[in-house]
Amino acid sequence: MADFEYDIIAVGAGHAGCEAASAAARMGSRTLLITMDMNTIGQMSCNPAVGGIAKGQIVREIDAMGGQMGIVTDRSAIQFRMLNKSKGAAMWSPRSQSDRKQFIQQWIKTLSSTDNLHIWQDEVVSLLLDNQNNTTNSSSFTHTVTGVVTRLGVTFKARAVVLTNGTFLSGLLHFGRTQIPGGRIAEKASIGLTEQLVATGFISQRMKTGTPARLDRRSIDFSVLQEQPGDNTEEKFSYLPQVRRCLKQMSCFITYTNPTTHDILRRGLPDSPLYNGQIQSIGPRYCPSIETKIVTFADKDQHQLFLEPEGVDSNEYYVNGFSSSMPWQIQLEALHSVRGLEHCVMYRPGYAIEYDYFDPTQLYPTLETKLIHNLFFAGQINGTTGYEEAAGQGLIAGINAHQNCIGAEPLVLSRDESYIGVLIDDLTHKGVDEPYRMFTSRAEYRILLRQDNADERLTEKSYSLGLADADRYRLYTTKREAIEHITGHLATTACTTPAYRALLEQQGYAASSAHGSLRDMLARPNITLRNILAIDNSLQEILSNLPDRRDEILDSTEINIKYSGYIARERMAADKLRRLDTIKIPATFNYNELQSLSTEARQKLTRLRPATIGDAMRIPGVSPNDINVLLVLMGR
């Protein structure tokens, strides 16, 4: 190392750290990524998959903004599926199985080729803090971060630091009654940062997550399992047409537990850390361990398990649905009772892990901490779970760390702009009482936040910041112009020809109803844009110059037309609420002087320091009456 001074340091090279470092460096900040092991950069600690319900939307948003997760996932994909295609377009969610080793290699390749980005293998044990609080007008900052100190005794100076420590802060692994300190299996925990931050005034608590056993493919009887192949399409995460899925595509397989499995697991409950008092912290309610399932759903005779391949050249299979911290002997015996796994060989057992996290209400919506200036948190340190949630936070933290360094306006995404905005808004205003996972139900404006239009929502904003490059911006504008051209053509072309009458009859409509425009016709439930494309030569000509993006443009155009009424209604509701986000609350406002506010509102507003009336409205416990009081005081 020839230089020990940087603009930004990202601590931890998981999904949050990789996105944070990549974004900051590509925006022009001299960036250092510090990781305990360069061979596990971008490690998929749990299942080898990216995306899913609501999570897939986050990945498309990351890609639309110029982040890397979508690209890395596509290049390492061994199966792709679009979930919920039988439901409305707002629910469509892309999901991909990845080759675990290739995912790491693609991240290493991406980071190694990024200008302004350096990597150092070491452990950060403390932050360098300046206790002068005159660097900002906000009274909440007690310190300013100026760098980090590593286990090797190296001091790195920085203008901003992003902590993305995952499950490594005071991590403790549980294998039955056996406890081993660690951040992941065979990887040591990180000690020191939690203690320093708590001493500075932060509130830290403990969370728990878990992972299932990994099995040897050669010991599984696939002939009796239900095969689950991927979609036979060219769909992917990245909006960039040059990014392709190139690896061999593989299937997943489905099997089920049975009463014998459950009896074996019940026999092991006295040694389960979840039930013998060994683990006191809160785990994910929506992704419970197999022992929790048999206790909570005692009336069920079976639970579905998915066997997911770890890679093209790997014999490892991940048993999705069988997360467990039981003794390894109980896990293996229970698995042997499952159809197709009677003779399975285990590479390693499942385990639970407890780790430190920090109450995310201690963050601004920029993900900068309220106590230490230019210190940002992203990922599981904020009480979230999931690769996608971590990556989305990392991207925003990296962007805002850079913006702080150059004295520019921060980026805060609103709830009607992105799932990432919903995620961060929930964290910073509501906090967490269990590991936070994104669901479509958390978003009020799901029809606006579809996976197909993430580029329309975010690319222009990212381009103005300097993250999305000119090529990506050109692709976005080309798509937008094509959609506008097609929409205009449909709105001005009549559907009265014999061919369209025949199409209507074929789809169950009376031929006499062939009146109005093609846009009106497309609004009908059983008519698709591809039906019209097969007849309309002009439409075919419009798409002839965009062969690689034909399906993407057709889908977005059709969704915009079919759901136009719902989209307009949601946009109107979002605009009303957004007006409240323009009413600023002074950072030093004294809520305790307002006796007209409820006691709970005074306490929460004082602690959380909302920046706007809109922020205040989203805090649990702040009533509409409290908001009206604030509006009066703000002259509204």
The arithmetic mean of pLDDT across residues 544-558, rounded, is: 89
Say what the pLDDT of residue 287 is: 84
Contact 66, 476 (CB under 8 A): no
Q: Count Cα neighbours of 334 within 13 Å in the Cβ-side half-sphere.
A: 34
Q: Is the pLDDT of residue 580 over 90?
A: no
Whether 135 has a pLDDT exceeding 60, the answer reads: no
Lowest mean pLDDT among 131-135, 329-333, 354-358, 528-532: 131-135
**8 A C-beta contact, residue 379 and residue 388:** no
Residue 1 has pLDDT above 70, yes or no: no
| Residue that the structure tokens 């309220």 belong to | 370
Task: Name the pLDDT band for 140 (thresholds 50, 70, 90).
Answer: confident
Using a 10 angstrom Cβ sphere, with 0-12 exposed, 13-18 middle and 19 or more buried, the burial of residue 474 is: exposed
**Cβ–Cβ contacts within 10 Å for residue 296, how many?**
11
Which tens digit of pLDDT belongs to each residue from 420-436? 999 999 999 999 989 99
Q: Cα–Cα distances in Å, from 282 out to 55, 286, 289?
A: 22, 12, 12
Q: What number of other Cβ atoms are within 10 A of residue 440's Cβ?
A: 18
Residue 63, both tokens: 């890609």
Q: How far, in Å, CA of 245 to CA of 605, rounded?
A: 48
C-alpha to C-alpha distance for 287 and 276, rounded to whole angstroms: 20
Q: In terms of C-beta density within 10 A (0-12 exposed, 13-18 middle, 19 or more buried), how is residue 158 classed?
A: buried
Top pLDDT among 442 and 159 is at: 159
* Residue 119: both structure tokens together: 């990597």
- Which of 526, 523, 534, 525 has its CA nearest to residue 557? 523
CB atoms under 10 Å from CB of 109, counted, come to: 12
pLDDT over 90 percentage in the chain: 81
Write down the pLDDT at residue 81: 97
Q: Rounded distance, CA 574 to CA 619, Å?
A: 17
Contact 54, 419 (CB under 8 A): yes
pLDDT in the model for residue 477: 96
Q: What is the architecture, at CATH level 2, of domain 5-209+356-464?
A: 3-Layer(bba) Sandwich (3.50)
Strand 143-150 with 117-121, pairing: unpaired
Residue 138 has pLDDT above 80, yes or no: no
User: For residue 132, what pLDDT band results from cuts at 50, 70 and 90?
Assistant: low
pLDDT tens digits along 367-383 = 999 999 999 999 999 99
- According to DSSP, residue 238 is labeled -
Q: Which two tokens stand for residue 43?
A: 């490690």
pLDDT at 137 over 70: no
Distances (CA, A) of 387 to 50, 390, 449, 619: 7, 5, 19, 26
- Amino acid, res. 69: M
Alpha carbons within 13 angstroms on the beta-carbon side of residue 174 total: 25
Domain ranges of the chain: 5-209+356-464, 212-350, 469-572, 581-633
The 3 state secondary structure assigned to 321-336 is EEECCCCHHHHHHHHH
Contact 89, 238 (CB under 8 A): no
Secondary structure (3-state) at 454: helix
Report which DSSP code applies to 551: H
Q: What is the pLDDT of residues 228-255, one digit of tens each?
A: 999 999 999 999 999 999 999 999 999 9
For the residues 349-359, what does the mean pLDDT come to? Answer: 98
User: Are the C-beta atoms of residues 610 and 412 closer than 8 Å to each other?
Assistant: no
Quote the CA–CA distance of 543 and 619 in Å, as a whole number.
47
pLDDT of res. 476: 96
Residue of 180, 177, 171 whose CA lies nearest to 327: 177
Q: Please say if the pLDDT value at position 351 is more than 60.
A: yes
Q: What is the pLDDT of residue 136?
A: 47
Over the stretch 258-291, which tens digit does the pLDDT of each residue have? 999 999 999 999 999 999 999 989 888 888 999 9
- The mean per-residue pLDDT over the stretch 32-43 comes to 97
Alpha helices in 493-623 (DSSP H): 498-506, 518-522, 529-533, 537-544, 550-562, 564-580, 599-608, 613-617
357 DSSP β-pair partners: 205
Distance CA 581, CA 214 (A): 48
Fold held by 581-633: DNA polymerase; domain 1 (1.10.150)
- Average pLDDT, rounded, for the chain: 94
Position 635 confidence tier, pLDDT thresholds 50, 70, 90: confident
- What contacts 24+ positions apart, CB below 8 Å, involve 484-489? 485/542, 486/539, 486/542, 486/543, 486/553, 486/557, 487/519, 487/557, 487/560, 487/561, 489/518, 489/538, 489/539, 489/542
What architecture is domain 469-572? Answer: Orthogonal Bundle (1.10)
pLDDT tier, 133 (very low <50, low <70, confident <90, very high otherwise): low
Q: What is the rounded end-to-end Cα distance, in angstroms, of the chain?
A: 56
Topology given in CATH for the domain delimited by 212-350: Elongation Factor Tu (Ef-tu); domain 3 (2.40.30)
